[in-house]
Amino acid sequence: MSTLSTHILDISTGKPAQGVTVRLERDGLVIATGTTNSAGRITEFVAHLPAARYRLVADIGAWFTQTGRETIYPCAQIDFVTKEAADEHYHLPFVIAPGGWSTYRGS
Residue 104 annotated as lining a ligand binding site: yes
- Angstrom distance (rounded) from CA 79 to CA 20: 18
Q: Topology of 2-99 in CATH?
A: Immunoglobulin-like (2.60.40)
Q: How confident is the model at residue 85 (pLDDT cuts 50, 70, 90)?
A: low
Does the structure show a pLDDT above 80 at 46?
A: no
**β partners of residue 80:** 54
pLDDT at 86: 62
Secondary structure (H, E, C), the chain: CEEEEEEEEECCCCEECCCCEEEEEECCEEEEEEECCCCCEEEEEEEEECCCEEEEEECHHHHHHHCCCCCCCCCEEEEEECCCCCCCEEECCEEEECCEEEECCEC
Average pLDDT over residues 37-57: 90
Residue-range domain boundaries for the chain: 2-99
